[in-house]
Amino acid sequence: MALAKIIEVSSSSQTSFDDAVKNAYAEVAQTVRNVKSVYVQDFLYEPGEADETGGRFRVHCKVTFMVENAND
């Protein structure tokens, strides 16, 4: 029987939403195998302060991966 698990993660980038999603996947992939999808639930842009060069792009994601069976 196949079993999938979903975890929620947040990530950010100073460059773009696309980079924030890639950062989320890269971090999860370091410790989780069999990642099947990354669903972006929320996008948030936080403008920088007046003395900063820019803001932050944040994403909240649901990551689905397959759980390995010990009998396989």
The domain that holds 27 is classified in CATH as 3.30.1660.10
Question: CA 2, CA 67: separation in Å to the nearest integer?
Answer: 7
Mean pLDDT score, 48-64: 85
Which amino acid type is present at position 33? R
Which amino acid type is present at position 27? E
Per-residue model confidence (pLDDT) at position 49: 72
Mean pLDDT score, 47-67: 86
Question: CA 42, CA 58: separation in Å to the nearest integer?
Answer: 8
Residue 72 is assigned to a structural domain of this protein = no
pLDDT category of residue 72 using cuts at 50, 70 and 90:
low
**Token pair 């975890």 is at which residue?**
7
Residue 59 is assigned to a structural domain of this protein = yes
Residue 62's domain comprises 3-67
Mean pLDDT score, 27-36: 95
Provide the H-helix boundaries in 1-72. Answer: 17-29
Question: CA 44, CA 48: separation in Å to the nearest integer?
Answer: 13
Per-residue model confidence (pLDDT) at position 48: 78
